[in-house]
Amino acid sequence: MKKVRGGYDIRLAGRPSRTIQQIVPPQRLLLPRRTRRFLFGQACVEEGARVKAGDVLARDGKNFDLPLVAPMGGTVSWTAQADHAVLGELEPPACEEQATPVHAPSGGETAAKRRQLVDLGAWAFVEDAYSGKLPDPQGTPAAVIVSTLRLEPYQARGDVQMMESLLGFIRGLEHLQSLLEYQPIYLLFPNVRSEFAQQVRQQLRGHAWIKLVEVPLLYPHDNMLLCARRLGFRRDQIVWTLGPDAVLAVDAALTHGRSVSSRVISLGGPGVKVPVHLRVTFGHPLEELTAGRLEESECRVINGGALNGYDATAAGQLGVDIECQGLTIVPENVERELLGWTRPGLDRRSYSNSYLSALRGSFDERMTTAMRGERRPCISCSFCEEVCPTGVMPHLIHKLLYADRLEDVERSRVDLCMDCGLCAFVCPSKIELREDMHEARRRIETELHAAEEH
Ligand code: SF4
Ligand code: SF4
């Protein structure tokens, strides 16, 4: 196992507490047809059709016909909102016990079990470590990595998701093992002692086939690509990766023969009055979720965490999609803070501890969308290099890219970058290093290698 390097304990205000709030089901559901990885382009029911909870609304033909499942019964409209399946006239949700389960395959029917995971939508929660894509459900992975933690600020916490059903989580792991021949299952675990961690360890006794991997509580050491690399898996190997909610979805599909219709997400960030975890039905309108919960009238709703999320409004997203892990709410600063960098910075933290805030001791910074000063040239502080967990030198790549020295950019191993965004987060000059990494990879592909082919 390779040594851990880099990472950072990002301290931002507005982290949700560990409690999970139940919320009133909405009047209608707005299910995005496009998510980070999927496009449910093939409609399976007609406009105006009446569907039951669990019926297939649409499929993603490019991803093993993965279904978009109706979380509740209702009337379907494809035209009411662009790029969304709208479910109106909703039926009251049935209790889990009352829902009619479909047959859950048993024994050695591995192929049937895997097919069932796809048919019930649980496979949507699985990701290949290197490509980030949906792996072939009938393929043979080199290993399975399950993470119990999420370290990016404002993503739903792994322990909170597991806390709801620890037994279901353990059963889900057992189901996963039944899908494999001899491949190992690694369970990423925080390297701290807590009551909950103790409880999980207790439950895992007698499961010698699970290999515990301790991970420091520094972002991005929960990153699956990074973990696969540390465990010695190569880029050309398929490694299935799952979070706690994915394992629970596997349990729901293979123990109860049900698809999941909701998930625990976080509603966090400095723009929220009381940051919380919520159990939400897929398609819950974002506007209803945030109504009455925001600090200010102008806030940006980010789908995902503080470093890797995307602007949900700009993407035209109206409801919670099936891949959503959390919503980050950031107050919108319409005005740039003029010469913000000249201020002593009692209210902000920096990686270098150079602001006056260093005198305040431990505190969580309040994040906004403001630039807080101008972009400046690189000052060669090497902070980006220090935090990078993959050993890439972002400042060097930034300079080589600027000088158009693409061959040297490639030699600097930009291909190792796994897009965590930490270098850009700590950079005191506010250089968009993550964008630079994207641009470098894109240009190597399109200019360097395309030129070689001709
Ligand atoms: S270079 Fe890539 S891997 Fe390294 S910190 Fe930046 S985004 Fe993360
Ligand atoms: S953190 Fe920013 S300023 Fe410092 S070396 Fe890296 S790119 Fe340059």
- Judge if the beta carbon of residue 423 lies within 6 A of ligand 1: yes
CA distance 101 to 69: 14
- Higher pLDDT: 283 or 13? It is 283
CA terminus-to-terminus distance, the chain: 41
Residues of the chain with pLDDT > 70, as a percent, come to: 86
CA distance 93 to 79: 24
pLDDT at 344 over 50: no
Atom of ligand 1 nearest to the CA of 6: 5
Residue 442 lies in a domain: yes
* CB contact at 8 A, 203 and 105: no
Residue whose Cα lies nearest atom 3 of ligand 2: it is 378
ipTM of the complex: 0.99
Distance (angstroms) between ligand 1 centre and the Cα of 113 equals 37
- What are the tens digits of pLDDT across the range 159-186? 999 888 899 999 999 999 999 999 999 9
Beta strands in 290-440 (DSSP E): 299-303, 310-311, 326-331
Distance of CA 37 to the CA centre of its chain: 11
* CB contact at 8 A, 425 and 153: no
Residue 188 lies in a domain: yes
- Judge if the beta carbon of residue 390 lies within 6 A of ligand 1: yes
Ligand nearest to the CA of residue 435, numbered in listed order = 1
Residue whose Cα lies nearest atom 1 of ligand 2: it is 427
pLDDT at 370 over 90: no
Q: CB-based contacts of 107: which residues, under 8 Å, 6+ apart? A: none
Give backbone dihedrals phi and psi of 245, rounded to 5 degrees, phi first.
Answer: -65, -30
In this predicted structure, what is the pLDDT of residue 45?
Answer: 98
Residue 369 lies in a domain: no
Shared domain for 245 and 268, answered yes or no, is no
pLDDT at 345 over 60: no
* CB contact at 8 A, 284 and 312: no
Shared domain for 155 and 238, answered yes or no, is yes
Shared domain for 82 and 155, answered yes or no, is no
Residue whose Cα lies nearest atom 4 of ligand 2: it is 381
CA distance 39 to 83: 10
Q: Which of 6-10, 90-94, 110-114, 339-343 has the lowest mean pLDDT?
A: 339-343
CA distance 232 to 209: 18
Distance (angstroms) between ligand 2 centre and the Cα of 435 equals 14
* CB contact at 8 A, 373 and 429: no
Distance (angstroms) between ligand 2 centre and the Cα of 388 equals 12
Identify the sign of the CA torsion 278, 284, 286, 288: negative
Distance (angstroms) between ligand 1 centre and the Cα of 126 equals 23
Distance (angstroms) between ligand 2 centre and the Cα of 381 equals 5
pLDDT at 381 over 80: yes
Mutate to test the pocket of ligand 2, among 400, 402, 427, 432 (most ligand atoms within 8 A of CB): 427
Distance (angstroms) between ligand 2 centre and the Cα of 379 equals 6
Shared domain for 432 and 444, answered yes or no, is yes
Q: Count structural domains, the chain.
A: 4
In this predicted structure, what is the pLDDT of residue 347?
Answer: 53
* CB contact at 8 A, 332 and 270: no
- What are the tens digits of pLDDT across the range 15-42? 898 889 989 889 999 999 999 999 999 9
Ligand nearest to the CA of residue 418, numbered in listed order = 1
- What are the tens digits of pLDDT across the range 200-252? 888 888 899 999 999 999 999 999 999 999 999 999 999 999 999 999 999 99
- What are the tens digits of pLDDT across the range 267-283? 999 899 999 999 999 99
**Domain closes at, from 59, 91, 123:** 91
CA distance 333 to 289: 22
Mutate to test the pocket of ligand 2, among 350, 351, 384 (most ligand atoms within 8 A of CB): 384
CA distance 329 to 52: 33
* CB contact at 8 A, 176 and 144: yes
Residue 349 lies in a domain: no
Q: Token digits for 410?
A: 């490639």
Distance (angstroms) between ligand 1 centre and the Cα of 90 equals 45
Shared domain for 277 and 403, answered yes or no, is no
| 3-class DSSP state of 277 | strand
| 3-class DSSP state of 263 | strand
Residue 345 lies in a domain: no
In this predicted structure, what is the pLDDT of residue 98?
Answer: 44
Ligand nearest to the CA of residue 383, numbered in listed order = 2
**Domain closes at, from 203, 238, 260:** 260
Q: Which of 22, 124, 29, 26 is nearest to 81 (CA)?
A: 29
Residue whose Cα lies nearest atom 7 of ligand 2: it is 395
Shared domain for 208 and 73, answered yes or no, is no
Shared domain for 44 and 58, answered yes or no, is yes
Atom of ligand 2 nearest to the CA of 383: 1
Q: Token digits for 55?
A: 């019926």
**Domain closes at, from 219, 240, 260:** 260
* CB contact at 8 A, 405 and 23: no
| 3-class DSSP state of 34 | strand
Shared domain for 236 and 276, answered yes or no, is no
pLDDT at 93 over 80: no
Residue 355 lies in a domain: no
Mutate to test the pocket of ligand 2, among 383, 392, 417 (most ligand atoms within 8 A of CB): 383
- Judge if the beta carbon of residue 418 lies within 6 A of ligand 1: yes
pLDDT at 304 over 60: yes
Residue 17 lies in a domain: no
Distance (angstroms) between ligand 2 centre and the Cα of 358 equals 20
pLDDT at 371 over 70: no
Burial class of 165 by CB neighbour count within 10 A (0 to 12, 13 to 18, 19+): middle
Q: Which of 74-78, 143-147, 324-328, 365-369 has the lowest mean pLDDT?
A: 365-369
Shared domain for 431 and 404, answered yes or no, is yes
CA distance 246 to 254: 12
In this predicted structure, what is the pLDDT of residue 83?
Answer: 96
Shared domain for 209 and 118, answered yes or no, is yes
How is residue 67 annotated by DSSP?
A: E
Residue whose Cα lies nearest atom 8 of ligand 1: it is 420
- What are the tens digits of pLDDT across the range 388-435? 999 999 999 999 999 999 999 999 999 999 999 999 999 988 899 999
Residue 123 lies in a domain: yes
* Residue written as token pair 């999980």: 200
Q: Token digits for 1?
A: 């196992």
Distance (angstroms) between ligand 2 centre and the Cα of 377 equals 8
In this predicted structure, what is the pLDDT of residue 97?
Answer: 44
Shared domain for 316 and 237, answered yes or no, is no
In this predicted structure, what is the pLDDT of residue 341?
Answer: 44
Query: What CATH code is carried by the domain that includes residue 180?
Result: 3.40.50
In this predicted structure, what is the pLDDT of residue 199?
Answer: 87
Structural domain range at position 196: 108-260
pLDDT at 454 over 70: no
Shared domain for 440 and 301, answered yes or no, is no
Mean pLDDT of the chain: 88
Query: What CATH code is carried by the domain that includes residue 62?
Result: 2.40.50.100
- Judge if the beta carbon of residue 7 lies within 6 A of ligand 1: no
The pLDDT confidence band at residue 378, using thresholds 50, 70 and 90, is: very high
pLDDT at 103 over 70: no
